Amino acid sequence: MPHRATTVNFKANARKAMADVNLQKALEKMRSGFVEKRLAATGRLPEFNDLRDEAQDIKDHVLANLDHYLERFEARVVEQGGHVHWCRDATEARAVILGLCQGAEAKSVTKSKSMIAEELDLNPFLEGHGIEPVETDLGEYIIQLAGETPSHIIAPAVHKTKEQVADLFVEHHAKYGLTKRHEEAPALLEEARQVLRAKYLAADVGITGANFLVAETGSSITVTNEGNAELTQILPKTHIVIASLEKVVPTLEDATTILRILARSATGQEFASYTTFATGPRRPDDLDGPGAYHVVLLDNGRSKMLGTEFQDMLRCIRCGACLSHCPIYSHVGGHAYGWVYSGPMGSVLNPQLIGIEASGHLPNASTFCGKCEEICPMRIPLPKLLRHWREREFEAGLPPAAQRAGLGLWAWLAKRPALYHGLSRLAVGVLRLMGRGGAIRTLPLAGGWTQGRDMPAPEGGTFHAQWKARGQGS
């Protein structure tokens, strides 16, 4: 298990997050921002849902034939003079990347946002070998200065206020002679632009992630708004792409279909500002561009998800929409999840990558409201996948004894309808007495639940009684 995971502490992490005033302010803004923008953008494209169906079909087809598409992709990269490095796990990938950086005699490396780099815990590793990694996405740069990890896939510093950013810049930019404290966003952006421009020009190697790999052409695709992936890959002598296996799509047209729904789902934009298709190293008559092009292909447990109930998760395009729309994520933020991925997609993916023993809280941190599945551009049945993890967790005997005993008792009762009805009538009566103000503030045996919110007092009779009274729903 990667050393940074704090997923076992999810409950404590979540409690802390809910008491964090700055975080709560940021999350509230996010809830209205991303959600409304996505709704507006999808409303401007009547074919949006049909495109989702096509995108799902493309990825399902690729996953069922993944070995073939990866072989085609590799062949095209090699034809163009590039290299593909297959890595079973994070250890192998780190070693390959270090070897490439050392081969390029790299002192500094610019990086454009990559969740795979987070999986690899790449920055501390490079630093440990005397290589300076510089995050270039503004949000990633801010959290790198803070010594933190991204709290949202597409808005990694969403939890930071501009005052906190100002503090970080004052602390870390003094060495460049920038000592004036700016508090307004435009001045902070300008300062970051100035500092990072020098870093781009000095870097020996540029590392980018990939939103897609194209089997037909051997291209890697990056999608950004800032233009940082472009400067990261065209200025240094070496361009390293790090990508997981499932990023491959068949053709430029297939990538295009999915791109039509990516930005709309992620930020509510019509299209991101910069979508770059990079194919091999610079050509003989090019005047700029990287002289070497390497793709590090990472498995890290994904090949074992194929053929299982979790294969659907490999359709994910990391738009972050399920985070932005999730009632759990939008109250606790990304860091509470304790490892690289957060929100509904993280609650499905993290158990696969770091084990259900370490991450059993995550599939339970769901209200099953179904919003994530409703808005997922790739139509991943996230609630169903969370249920699969709960079943696996139960089968492995991981839930605490009290919870298992409680479920056992409920099952015993549920098989005895007369007793069940009698007891539920009694419970409704008692709860109604307890909640005469309409809400129950504390509930015996459920103190953990009522600590964070009131339990509404029941109105009317039991469900069964109401059902009967309505003539069984007819």
Partner 1 sequence: MSAREDILDAIRTSLGPDAPGRDPEAVDVRLARHAAGLQPTRAQSEGEDRAAQFIEWAEFVATTVDLVASLDDVPGAVTSYLSANNLPAKARRATDASLDGIPWERAPLLELEPGVAVDSDAVSITGAFAGIAETGTLMLNSGHGHPSTLNSLPETHVVVLRRDQLVGGYDDAWNRLRQSGGALPRTVLLVTGPSRSGDIEQTLQLGAHGPKRLHIVLVDGEETADA
For residue 278, how many other CB atoms are within 10 A of its CB? 23
| Interacting residue with partner 1 among 23, 77, 145, 245 (CB under 8 A) | 245
Residue with Cβ nearer partner 1 (305 or 365):
305
Q: Which is nearer to partner 1, 286 or 459 (CB)?
A: 286
Q: Is 6 in the site for partner 1 (CB under 8 A)?
A: no
Taking the complex as a whole, the smallest distance from the CB of residue 73 to partner 1 amounts, in Å, to: 10
| Distance separating alpha carbons of residues 331 and 366, to the nearest angstrom | 12
Nearer to partner 1, 7 or 211 (CB): 211
Q: Does 196 help bind partner 1 (rule: CB under 8 A)?
A: yes
Stretch that binds partner 1, among 22-30, 99-107, 341-349, 452-460 (CB under 8 A): 22-30
Nearer to partner 1, 172 or 425 (CB): 172
Q: In whole angstroms, give the CA distance from residue 173 to residue 165.
A: 11
| CB 42, min distance to partner 1, A | 12
Residue 276 or 462 having the CB closest to partner 1: 276
Judged by CB under 8 A, the residue of 29, 404, 441, 468 near partner 1 is 29
| Nearest distance, CB of residue 289 and partner 1, angstroms | 5
The reply on whether position 385 binds partner 1 by CB under 8 A is no
Can you tell me which of 107, 304, 404, 421 binds partner 1, judged by CB under 8 A?
Answer: 304
Judged by CB under 8 A, the chain residues 100 through 159 that form the site for partner 1 are 136-139, 142, 155-158
Q: Which of residues 62-81 bind partner 1 (CB under 8 A)?
A: 63-72, 80
Choice between 334 and 435, CB closer to partner 1? 334
With contact defined as beta carbons under 8 Å apart, do 359 and 7 qualify?
Answer: yes
Residue from 6, 9, 257, 364 in contact with partner 1 (CB under 8 A): 257
Pick the binder of partner 1 from 277, 368, 449, 467 (CB under 8 A): 277
Closest distance to partner 1 from the beta carbon of 72 (Å): 6
Should residue 350 be labelled a site residue for partner 1 when binding is judged by CB under 8 A?
A: no
Question: Can residue 186 be called a binding residue for partner 1 (CB under 8 A)?
Answer: yes
287 binds partner 1 (CB under 8 A): yes
3-state secondary structure labels for all residues of the chain: CCCCCCHHHHHHHHHHHHCCHHHHHHHHHHHHHHHHHHHHHHHCCCCHHHHHHHHHHHHHHHHHCHHHHHHHHHHHHHHCCCEEEEECCHHHHHHHHHHHHHHCCCCEEEECCCHHHHHHCHHHHHHHCCCEEEECCHHHHHHHHHCCCCCCCCCCCCCCCHHHHHHHHHHHHHHHCCCCCCCCHHHHHHHHHHHHHHHHHHCCEEEECCCEEECCCCEEEEEECCCHHHHHHHCCCEEEEEEEHHHEECCHHHHHHHHHHHHHHHCCCCCCCEEEEECCCCCCCCCCCCCEEEEEEECCCCCCCCCCCCHHHHHCCCCCHHHHCCCCHHHHCCHHHCCCCCHHHHHHHHHHHHCHHHHCHHHHCCCCCCHHHHHCCCCCCHHHHHHHHHHHHHHCCCCCHHHHHHHHHHHHHHCCHHHHHHHHHHHHHHHHHHCCCCEECCCCCCHHHHHHCCEECCCCCCHHHHHHHCCCCC
The count of chain residues that interact with partner 1, using the rule CB under 8 A, is 104
Of residues 438 through 457, those in contact with partner 1 by CB under 8 A are none
Among 5, 104, 272, 428, the residue binding partner 1 under the rule CB under 8 A is: 272
Q: Is 99 in the site for partner 1 (CB under 8 A)?
A: no
Stretch that binds partner 1, among 12-20, 250-258, 327-335, 364-372 (CB under 8 A): 250-258
Please, what is the minimum distance in Å from the beta carbon of residue 124 to partner 1? 22
Q: Report the 10 Å Cβ neighbour count for 308.
A: 11
Smallest gap, in angstroms, from Cβ of residue 21 to partner 1? 14
Site string for partner 1, 202-241 (x = CB under 8 A): -------------xxx-x-----xxxx-xx-xxx------
56 touching partner 1, by CB under 8 A: no
